[in-house]
Amino acid sequence: MENNIIEVEYTDLPEDLQPEGNIPIPSEASFPTAILKTVADVFNNVTNSIKEYSMFKEQEKTKRAEIKMQLKIGLEQIQAQKEVLLTDLNNRHERDMTMIRAIDEQINKGLDNYTNTINGAIEAAKKTNDFSAVMDLLEMMNSAQKASMEFKLRMMDKTSGMPRLDDNSKPFGYLG
């Protein structure tokens, strides 16, 4: 039977190339001293790990608190902007409604005046039997009313908070 022994040279690794996790046991120490040193190193590693864990846990709490505060500040800013915009919208609505009410009042007074003028012209035409003056008056009043309405609509368009139509387009159903 042949002896299958392979000769291998053995050298110690230098201290800086020791693999992590392996704790070198000094050869000059006794076995109980080596075990105590190893247990002490393990205990130190566990203690250091617990300290690191506690430190990271506190850092995460701090980060969460910062994020929560930033979220709270952001929500308060959004709420404040919302209040400002709603106040502005209400003020704009009230201003526009005041303008529309004034225009509506002017239109109604104008219609009442036109009606009274036309009724007076018709009564005068009945007596003279000449209705051409009434027709001329109606045409003149219609053109004046049309110009007045166009002016009022342009004024409403400029004061309204709604987006303005360009001058070439007309809203759906516009009869002008």
What is the structure's pLDDT at 1?
Answer: 47
Question: Residue 66: pLDDT above 90?
Answer: yes
Find the angle CA(107)-CA(104)-CA(84) to the nearest 5 degrees.
Answer: 150
**C-alpha neighbours within 13 Å on the C-beta side of residue 11:** 4
Q: Mean pLDDT across the stretch 95-99?
A: 85
The answer to whether the CB of 107 falls within 8 A of the CB of 151 is no
pLDDT, one tens digit per residue, over 6-36 is 665 656 655 555 455 555 555 555 777 878 8
